[in-house]
Amino acid sequence: MVDRRVPAGVGAFRLDSHATRAVAILALLLVPRVCAGEAAADAAVRSTRAEQVVTRVGPLTVTVGEVESRLARVAVVQRAEWGTSADAVRRGFVSDVVVPQALLLASAEAQSLATEPPSSYAIERARSNATLRALRARVGTAEAVSGDDVRAYYEQNRARFDSPERIGVWRILCATSEDAQAVLDALKTDSSTKAFTDLARTHSLDKGTSLRGGDLGLLTDDGVSPEPGLRADPAVMRAVLAVHDGDIVPSPVPEGPNFAVVWRRGSLPARHRTLADLAPSIRDTIWKNRIKDAADQLLANLRAARVRDVNEEVLASADIPAEDGPTPRDGPDASVR
């Protein structure tokens, strides 16, 4: 018999070795049951949260669990389309993907475009696509776009189809004529692209373009660049027009109070595309725009009529996985919109 005593004041008693082992075994047996109980409680809480309704779309409901499972199938890089915060991602995904798909599905049911009950995301997506196919049938085919509509589109977008000659211009802006001449002398020794770029970065006063090696981009003969706010000095353009592609202007070019070293890198000829050349692509563009406009209008009407009970607080509880999850073959992705 082993005497095991507790400190005075707590109460003295004796336990033999068999009783001690029995208590220890009982404690070990109770631990899994306690852990299992806690796990079951956690699972019940998760299940309850997952069943909370984020919004209702006609007869359909969108729950937290559905948002989580579908968002898990969206690549992390794609989620950035809706913003950088978790809240923005949740809102954007539900607004741009989940709700439109639910609206199209509800519309398909209302029109009896599909009779099978949805048993997977694949069937839901197929039924949603049935609504879009019906919409395309109402719009008609690309071939149905009239010649008058094609001609009107061509005239309205003439600037996109015709473009003047554009010249590639690189320039190093120096404070004085002497500084510009020193740069020109260095280029006579080495007129490579790297040499010009290095000189631009170390000598050009125009820090906005020096980081690009002095590249002003492709300019029209009046010095206008496609880049907003960038326009070459008229004196620079006159000097450029006096030399051939690949030539460096042989002397410093006055530019305001400064002097420039200018290189005509190359040019693109003027381009003119006729209506006959573009008619097939224009007809296709008009048709696609009509499909998009009709789909947008359909979704806007359905959203106004059927989306209700939007619960922002419930949506905020949806988990967003930190990493890309598996994408089942029958699951939708962010491209289905």
pLDDT at 332: 38
User: Of the candidates 285, 306, 327, which has an alpha carbon nearest to the alpha carbon of residue 336?
Assistant: 327
User: Of the candidates 318, 270, 297, 281, which has an alpha carbon nearest to the alpha carbon of residue 98?
Assistant: 318
The whole-model pTM stands at: 0.45
Q: What is the pLDDT of residues 234-257, one digit of tens each?
A: 999 999 999 999 999 999 999 999
Query: 26-162+274-337 is classed in which CATH architecture?
Result: Orthogonal Bundle (1.10)
Residues in Cβ contact with 328 at an 8 Å cutoff, skipping those fewer than 6 apart: 73, 121
The Cα 41–Cα 62 span in angstroms is 24
pLDDT at 111: 62
Q: Which residue has the higher pLDDT, 106 or 124?
A: 106
> Are 258 and 173 within 8 A, CB to CB?
yes
Q: What confidence tier does 161 reach under pLDDT thresholds 50, 70, 90?
A: confident
Q: Domain residue spans in the chain?
A: 26-162+274-337, 165-269
What is the full DSSP assignment across 270-335? -EE--HHHHHHHHHHHHHHHHHHHHHHHHHHHHHHHHEE---HHHHTT----SS-----TT---TT
Q: Please report where in the chains the tokens 């490579």 appear, as a residue.
A: 192
Query: 165-269 is classed in which CATH architecture?
Result: Roll (3.10)
Q: Does pLDDT of 147 surpass 90? A: yes
Q: Report which residue type is found at 64.
A: V
Most trustworthy range by pLDDT among 63-72, 131-140, 264-273? 264-273
Fold match flag (26-162+274-337 vs 165-269): no
> Whole-angstrom distance between the N-terminal and C-terminal Cα of the chain?
78
